[in-house]
Amino acid sequence: MGYNQKMFTITSWNVNGLRAAFKNKADTWWEKYDPDLLCLQEVRARPDQLTAAQRESLEKKNPTWNPAERPGYSGVATFAKNEPLATEIGLGIPRFDSEGRVMQTLLPGIRVFNIYFPNGGRDLIRVGYKLDFYQELLEICDELHANGEKIIIGGDFNTCHQYIDLKNPKANEGNTGFLPEEREWIDIYLEHGFVDIFRNLYPDKEQYSWWTYRGGARERNVGWRLDYFLISDALVDQVEDVIIHDQVMGSDHCPVSLLIDLK
């Protein structure tokens, strides 16, 4: 249908390894759901590491890849039903771009960031790097907003914003992903012209997008909402819905979809 269609679907999913996702038949879901833009994080693979059949299935989707320099680590990839106006790899900052964390896709009137935000690490040694990433990205977005661009940031933010966004907030206040200094950056983004569109639509809804593999957490729904769409204020009226597909298996994260009218 191209970019003149009424409703456009963007799906974000941390697949925790693309080869594992294929093994777990995650592709069966995305082929059936068929989003207009599929943004995958933590792919941990280059195209040449996939089977011929897997590569063929993805080549039909106008793929853009940003693998990390370190093999088997991080990486994002974006797949578009119709060829985008343009794509940009990374942020233009070597210390972040070496980890393959960002892909930018330009649609009519909208710039979509597919991002795998850094994890602070169990020993918190990477928290500083993570916060620097938030700051550098925001400076870029501020400039884009100042130039009149409308922005969608979708991906694994590796941070829960509010108590409602995870099952056991008190027990996790000292853990990365729920540290005060991490959560504050979400506040700062919201002060700089962004809206957490899921929370905007569903202010009281307790729904998660990630569950540890330990202790049957997913079966008990002991989860965290780590996967977000932050969108420019100017786009809010164009949004039809945000769907957290928490029944979809294939990773420790589930996919999240944004339905938006491109107008």
Q: Are 251 and 21 in contact (CB under 8 A)?
A: yes
* pLDDT value of position 1: 41
* Residue among 34, 142, 156, 241 flagged as catalytic: 156
Locate tokens 């390894």: which residue?
A: 17
Nearest to 140 by CA among 128, 149, 127, 131: 149
Q: Is 16 helix (H, G, I), strand (E, B) or coil?
A: coil
* pLDDT value of position 250: 96
What token pair was written down for 27? Answer: 């592709």
How far is residue 208's CA from residue 179's CA, in Å, rounded to a whole number?
18
Look at phi and psi of residue 90 and say left if phi exceeds 0, alpha if psi is from -120 to 50, else beta: left
Q: What is the pLDDT along the chain (263 residues), one digit of tens a residue?
A: 466 667 999 999 999 999 999 999 999 999 999 999 999 999 999 999 999 999 999 999 999 999 999 999 999 999 999 999 999 999 999 999 999 999 999 999 999 999 999 999 989 999 999 999 999 999 999 999 999 999 999 999 999 999 999 999 999 999 999 999 999 999 999 999 999 999 999 999 999 999 999 999 999 999 999 999 999 999 999 999 999 999 999 999 999 999 999 87
Answer yes or no: 156 catalytic.
yes
Identify the bridge partners of residue 151 per DSSP, sorted by sequence position.
111
The domains of the chain are located at 2-260
How far is residue 222's CA from residue 216's CA, in Å, rounded to a whole number?
8
CATH 3.40.228.10 fits 2-260, yes or no: no
Identify the bridge partners of residue 242 per DSSP, sorted by sequence position.
258
Locate tokens 């794509």: which residue?
A: 87
